[in-house]
Structure 1
């Protein structure tokens, strides 16, 4: 006989902290969060001021240093850790990088790294990125921004059209802001440098999910994780999606991979014989 997820007391159930991408919002992680909740995890997907984006704030909001993003992520982790025996950390794009920085500071039980961006080298990265060092000069940094262009990390054409419409009308969509400020990109490069030197410290189970045709971050980011993480990660490649794995054509498979990985490493509930319940597929 197997227990249902509800049979485990809340505090015994592992929690999962999911971090969205830079200048994005929690919507992009909702399919994964929903699947995890359906198998019994307690999931938090916080909207973080100064890191995420809302239509109201837009690009007018100043961008704080990445240390502020990390401090906010630590606060979110600590709040979950106070209530739950174990907390896994996951993220998409720069959220995966922020999750790695967090795991170097806090005892994350497992890592879920989706479209991890340690290098901006995907096939749709504009040549203007070569000019980024110029944009990082303090007097230009707060003034310059860069337009996001199709395919917006999506191979699914219907979703792509919806995103383009949302960006045109409100400057923000489920995949993030219509423009990225130079200040935000500058802080993301500082965060990447910070994380790169700490990868060897991270020995917990790690799941790496990445598109073979990621338009923002090519395979090099995955290869770096495989070479430098303290323990070899479990890697899955996706051939029918771009950067926004959690929303694109294979979002259901992505969510299932995350559930399967966490159920193996952080069981939600088990029968007296130690057998996992069979609610694997959301």
Structure 2
């Protein structure tokens, strides 16, 4: 009896060293919006503590993704493989191992060479250290600024997550683990020419971990390859400035209209919220603002949120989605010159229907001059998120009033 033929399109997405699916940013969501069923794998040694990586070898990682691939590939008519950073090395090695032809391969920031601008000149000394018994297991390789991210605000979000101990990425990895990455690199260097499926390579010109030499190698070695070079990101390209270009490039390569992902999200049916739920949402929003945990604001916003600043305000204008709002907060940080921005709620929120409003005061020091803004924010809520924000300066108060 023949096994039933697979239907539809699936994809296996592989995270990087010390990471989680956060490494891939909005990729899972974007693929699902165009009808691709995505599957994640948590690599051995991940999801716990950095020390869990000590007994893991490269074969464990490759065997793990191979098992996931073998369990999934026959369930679909088309099946794609995608990886970020070390996950890209694993994706390349997996597709070479299985001679993958049922779909396509996407390699994001593949560190075929560890030679980016932030890697120290003495990085080659790690090789003799590998051969000193026990030493590589005791040396820590810290995850430090710029955290692979060029965007100042997103970098601040990541830094805050590390400081709070959020379980989204290991703060360090043992050097012994880097040795296993070096073994993976050698496998890819030796086997890339045997990859049988169409391959997309996406790499940032300013990648601080792995230079364009990695992308150039893959472009030359893989038989059927397309290369995309990004101009405004560091290593973590799925969450950095070029994240929309990354998503668009991947969807286009896989044969989907990139606009479908955005259009589908805008057609969601709006589900009204109860007053209690709105009160909780608004409370979380105000708490995030007033404690300067701006990174906690963004998950409360709908992806298609529309944010408006009215009147003569330095941030005046309309911001059409969550990415634009993140950029707006980055602009606020620039206005404050990197100094703290103090935000207080000057009145309790008043909830009416799906809308909430409250008074807001913002203050900071710019070039030695105290600056204060006062006004009212109006929030529109639906589907458990804030879908619209409007800021109106208080009557008779200039947006750039200096305090004395």
TM range (shorter): 0.7 to 0.9
Distance 2:43 2:164 in 1: 23
Note the C-alpha offset of 1:67. Answer: 0.7
Task: Give the structure 2 partner of residue 121 of structure 1.
Answer: 115
Task: Give the structure 2 partner of residue 241 of structure 1.
Answer: 233
Task: Give the structure 1 partner of residue 198 of structure 2.
Answer: 205
Question: Aligned match of 1:97 in 89, 95, 100?
Answer: 89
Normalised by the length of structure 2, the TM-score is 0.60
1:53-106, CA deviations, whole angstroms, 9 ceiling, x for partnerless residues? 33x423354341101111100111011113112321111111111101100122
Q: Is the 8 A contact 1:19 1:90 kept in 2?
A: yes
Q: Greater CA radius of gyration, 1 or 2?
A: 2
Matched, 1:215 2:196: no
Which SS does the other structure have where 1:43 is aligned? strand
Distance 1:20 1:120 in 2: 18
Superposed counterparts of 1:27-46, under 5 Å: 27-46=22-41
1:121-162, CA deviations, whole angstroms, 9 ceiling, x for partnerless residues? 111112342321133123212211112221111001111112
Distance 1:112 1:195 in 2: 14
Q: Is the 8 A contact 1:152 1:160 kept in 2?
A: yes
Question: Aligned match of 1:25 in 20, 26, 42?
Answer: 20
Normalised by the length of structure 1, the TM-score is 0.84
Greater relative contact order (Cα < 8 A, sep 6+)? 1
Question: Aligned residue pairs: how many?
Answer: 256
Note the C-alpha offset of 1:195. Answer: 1.6
Note the C-alpha offset of 1:227. Answer: 1.3
Task: Give the structure 2 partner of residue 156 of structure 1.
Answer: 151
Which SS does the other structure have where 2:97 is aligned? coil
Q: Which runs of 4+ in 1 moved over 4 A?
A: none
Matched, 1:189 2:170: no
Change (3 A) 1:59 1:163: farther
Task: Give the structure 1 partner of residue 251 of structure 2.
Answer: 259
Instruction: Kindly indicate which of the two structures has a greater share of residues assigned to strand.
Output: 2
Distance 1:68 1:28 in 2: 20
Question: Aligned match of 1:134 in 111, 128, 131?
Answer: 128
Task: Give the structure 2 partner of residue 77 of structure 1.
Answer: 69
Which SS does the other structure have where 1:198 is aligned? helix
Note the residue ranges of structure 1 that are not aligned, 5 or more in a row: 1-9, 265-275
Q: Is the 8 A contact 2:96 2:191 kept in 1?
A: yes
